[in-house]
Chains A and B, each alone.
Chain A
């Protein structure tokens, strides 16, 4: 267990486009390899009386699968994304209002939850909502032989023994959310967290580059 092979630690090619939809207040599409997610944010807008919270904004996250209606799996992913966004957004600045984040799966080729988180963060940034920090999602898969793979594809996800997704914040690289499947040891958990923190630096650099490009005067 001590000599655990960490060789496949690469992130697939990333790409992102912001404000590509005209209707939402903020939108983004985020691609990790072939996995693609489209995100749209509306808000701060008027809130339904039944959902009103007197001291902060109500955040609603909706995940739309590609085929059929949202099921239990989508609901649980919605909750993971919502709790991460709630932790980073400064919701108390917009009391009694609503924020809606809609995520549409365009293609699932593994690491979908981390792609949701990245797309959500880019869309929130595009909407110009005040946040205390940025966040990103990193998925790690532990193969049967103990090898750790970051940003796995769907085929790698199917073969792995455990799958861990973390949301990492940009300020201190702390873990904001974790979602795990399968069994793993404490050492493996700590290794995965450490890898995710390292990988998050790359993603935050990508965020920074894309925002810098967006507000630059020339291409």
Chain B
């Protein structure tokens, strides 16, 4: 295939896209507030926002805390390992923090309940479900959409007392969001000769460098990061930022439309959530309505089984008339082998043997005792070892 150097010339990508094309983006919501699913082509991401009342940081007593956690689930790719911080997860986490926390897109001061004592901690968990490239863009869309969808419980503080209202008592409150930064990724090939927007996984494997620009719809750059050790020219960065501004406004529109649709559906009392958004008409998907289970024979079967089952044999200890109860010498003291009857179904002659063993035991310990000092004398090297200090208590 012939690929021309000029960016205006038609470049065919593996999935048939043009250079600057994004894959299909689908934004849907879960049944809870603050749960968002994003599909970017085959890449799938889920974000869930949760909140908790905590003590604020000492340096910022009247600001809420934002916490991001990107979970590289082994479901997304066999290369990801569960419960381990890989280089990629640290990089993605840091980039998401720069994109959403450091750009001050969320008003953290409104999350303060009592200055210096109680603030809301907003936690964003991003789960990667399928890795087909450009995880960062999908994660940033999912995280900001989930944050704008989220509602925190209402609180009131009278003096020392803080009351958290349940959703039934008072309507939950949305977060205060100033702007929505969205990350757009560019991959470079052959030392920056070729540029592709929204690289898929196969393109990511062979790319030389990656440029991520986070921007809001006011065309303000919130963070910019170049990785892969590629030298970029000023013009290239300018061109990328121009492309980013177009993409960001498109994605922003999509998000606000999705949020609006969800709001309308919730208001109308329609069923929402992942289960409701199952694609109909797909050959791999099937739905079955609520079904009644035929229960006519259940009671009889259960009764039959119980009657058929043999009565469990009484434990052998029950035969003994003497009730056994453990002896507790003093409160909080437990002892093994005292008080309780032996219920291991031993024959009488075995019992005798047991007694015999009991007699043997002290002898053995005596032997043991005798052996000890001898060894200490013979072997000079270990004479100061701990072994000499072992004291054997006679029964």
Contacts and interface: CB of A to CB of B under 8 A. Distances in A.
Interface of A: 4, 6, 9-24, 27, 29, 31, 33-36, 38, 40, 42, 45, 62, 64, 66-70, 100, 102, 104, 106-107, 109, 150, 186-187, 190-191, 193-195, 198-199, 202, 206, 209-210, 213-214, 216, 219
Nearest to B44: A21
B284 to A, nearest CB: 5
A45 B30 CA distance: 33
Contacts of B132: 22-23
Nearest to A191: B302
A193 B304 CA distance: 13
A11 to B, nearest CB: 5
Nearest to A100: B74
B82 interface: yes
A69 B284 contact: no
Main secondary structure of the interface of A (DSSP, over half): mixed
Contacts of B290: 10-13
Given A11-B290, A186-B306, A206-B288, 12 more contacts: A11-B291, A15-B275, A15-B278, A17-B284, A24-B75, A34-B31, A42-B74, A107-B275, A187-B302, A194-B302, A195-B295, A216-B283
A15 B285 CA distance: 7
B278 A62 contact: no
Interface string B283-318: 111111111111101110111011000000000000
B121 interface: no
B279 interface: yes
B152 interface: no
A206 B286 contact: yes
A13 B289 contact: yes
B331 interface: no
A20 B284 contact: yes
A19 B290 CA distance: 24
B337 interface: no
B273 interface: yes
A9 B286 contact: no
Given A31-B274, A36-B275, A10 B129 contact: no
B265 to A, nearest CB: 14
A199 B78 CA distance: 35
9 contacts: A10-B291, A13-B287, A22-B132, A23-B76, A62-B73, A62-B74, A66-B127, A202-B291, A210-B286
B49 to A, nearest CB: 9
Contacts of B119: none
B275 A23 contact: no
Contacts of A194: 297-299, 301-302, 305
B285 A17 contact: yes
B241 interface: no
B358 to A, nearest CB: 41
A121 B62 CA distance: 50
B114 interface: no
B129 A21 contact: yes
A44 to B, nearest CB: 12
Contacts of B287: 13-16
A69 B73 CA distance: 11
Nearest to B82: A62
Contacts of A34: 31, 273, 275
B74 A67 contact: no
Contacts of A42: 74, 78
Contacts of A150: 293
Given A42-B78, A100-B74, A9 B295 contact: yes
Contacts of B73: 62, 64, 102, 104
